[in-house]
Amino acid sequence: MGDPKFILPILIVVAVILIAKSMGARRSSGPTLDVRPAPLMTHVERRTISYIETALPWARIHAQVSMGAILAPKKGLTRSKATTVRNRFSSKRVDFVVEDRATGKVVMLIELDDRFHRPGDDARRDRMMAAAGYATLRLPASEQPTRESVHRMLRQVFEQQPELLPRELRHGA
């Protein structure tokens, strides 16, 4: 077969290569972070999204959407200014985004206010979203969302701003 004197050095070289490769693969993936899963929505948010979905069957409702997915800095800004603007919203989330299924257009944003919401911060956030052309409906913390209250508030928004409805639904509003 072959001289046994050559087989042992070849096996040692192959073993060293395999060990080096496995160490390199572990090193390139980096250390494991100390993380755990977190729920996407609270119980109240899960219940509220079902109320929104039944009120707006023509819409697709997205939950916990990163503002970075629906906002971008205005064109023409310097790189530094664009980064500053992006940093103001990129790590924040919107509770619910209402999207017209037919067109993919964002119809409105819905925020479920709770004890963590602060009126001053919310007003600044609403102004930023309005600057991008988004209407925001705030479901108040003082009123526990029910099917009836969510439907009523949505109806009020569409009565006050019928242009938010898809064109084919405006005449029925």
Query: 63 with 147, same domain?
Result: yes
Buried b (16+ CB within 10 A) or exposed e, 13-45: eeeeeeeeeeeeeeeeeeeeeeeeeeeeeeeeb
pTM (two decimals): 0.76
**pLDDT tens digits, 126-147:** 999 999 999 999 998 788 899 9
Question: The domain containing residue 84 runs over which residues?
Answer: 43-172
Most confident segment among 11-15, 59-63, 73-77, 162-166 = 59-63
How many whole angstroms separate alpha carbon 121 and alpha carbon 116? Answer: 11
Residue 37 falls within a domain, yes or no? no
Query: 76 with 52, same domain?
Result: yes
Residue 164 falls within a domain, yes or no? yes
Query: 67 with 128, same domain?
Result: yes
Query: 24 with 68, same domain?
Result: no
- Structural domains in the chain (count): 2
Torsion of CA 44, 47, 51, 57, to 10 degrees: 130
